[in-house]
Copies of this chain bind each other. A is one copy, B any other.
Amino acid sequence: MALTREQLVDAAVGVLSEFGLADLSMRRLARELDVQVGALYWHVKSKQELLVDVAAKLLDSVPRPNVPTPELAPMSIAALLRQLRSALIAVPDSAEVMQLAQSMRPESLDPMGWLLEFLSIAGVPEADATYARHVLVNHLLGSIASHQEAVALSAGTEPGTVSTEWEEAAFDYGVRVILQGLALEHPPVV
């Protein structure tokens, strides 16, 4: 049976999750899928295009939340950000991959659309909503990136030494600060 684009994307997600972006080469994927490198280029135009699909797949596990009322919108936003974080935090270099996808094909990332919608519902003026989302997404991806660089660096030393607690506290703190700065009442810490 012929190779499909889906199999290719799945293989890429697998390698990324287990070994990180540095090991995610077209040649390695070809080896893993028992084809020649050139075969991959029949299914995707470039490695970049493949990574955009990988990014979308990483967010597949994040369910679309119910549309909240204005009072509940800030809590929904915080909850959605937490979901995005937990979908990405265990995948090495996921922040980098997401950033690429965001600038190459933002419409392929559904949850980012929801975020904008909820900000509007929460009362952020139309003109500011896109800015506001940027601040939140920068915080999300930034937090993930520094967590993962910390993990990567501590890989040499004793394992399991990265304080997950600190990272999570820092993340939640940031979300609260930003929502508060947007003049949305910040949700209680869950």
With a CB–CB cut-off of 8 A, which chain B residues contact A139? 135, 138-139, 142
Contact A137 B128 (CB under 8 A): no
> At the interface, yes or no: A110 with Cβ under 8 Å from chain B?
no
Q: State the CA gap A70–B135 with chains docked (Å).
A: 25
Residue-wise interface mask of A (37-49) relative to B, using a CB-CB cutoff of 8 A (1 in contact, 0 not):
0000000000000
Q: State the CA gap A173–B132 with chains docked (Å).
A: 8
Contact B173 A131 (CB under 8 A): yes
> At the interface, yes or no: A66 with Cβ under 8 Å from chain B?
no
> At the interface, yes or no: A9 with Cβ under 8 Å from chain B?
no
Q: State the CA gap A170–B152 with chains docked (Å).
A: 31
Q: State the CA gap A148–B5 with chains docked (Å).
A: 29
CB-CB under 8 A for A177 and B174, given A139-B139, A143-B134? no
Contact A177 B132 (CB under 8 A): yes
Q: State the CA gap A173–B99 with chains docked (Å).
A: 20
CB-CB under 8 A for A128 and B173, given A137-B142, A138-B138, A143-B138? yes
Contact A181 B176 (CB under 8 A): yes
Q: State the CA gap A103–B148 with chains docked (Å).
A: 10
Q: State the CA gap A104–B153 with chains docked (Å).
A: 7
Contact A135 B177 (CB under 8 A): yes
Q: State the CA gap A177–B136 with chains docked (Å).
A: 11
CB-CB under 8 A for A149 and B181, given A170-B131, A174-B138? no
Determine which of B142, B150, B178 lies in contact with A181 in the assembled complex, contact meaning CB atoms within 8 Å: B178
> At the interface, yes or no: A100 with Cβ under 8 Å from chain B?
yes
Question: 9 A–B contact pairs at CB < 8 A?
Answer: A99-B145, A99-B146, A102-B149, A132-B173, A134-B170, A138-B146, A177-B182, A180-B180, A181-B182
